[in-house]
Amino acid sequence: MDLQEYAMFMVDAREYRVAFVREDGEFDVVDRFYAIDDDGANAYAETYFEGQEWYVLDSTGRNINGGPQ
């Protein structure tokens, strides 16, 4: 990624969180990262948390894929 691409990413990127559900039903956030959109956020979680039951939350804490809120 060159400097111009990086600058555009930083302008357009949104914060996301990867989380797991605790026994009490609350989310346990294990990673924070930036992606351009929900598809990019899901791709990140699939890559780094493969084989685990993860959830991706947006910056407001909403599960971007539905399910437990």
Span 27-54, pLDDT tens digits: 999 999 999 999 999 999 999 999 999 9
Read off the pTM: 0.82
Beta bridge partners of 33: 16
The predicted structure's pLDDT at residue 57: 97
1 pLDDT band, cuts 50/70/90, is: confident
Exposed/middle/buried for 51, CB within 10 Å: 0-12, 13-18, 19+? exposed
Tokens of 30: 């294990």
Give residue 68's pLDDT. 57
| Per-domain boundaries in the chain | 3-58
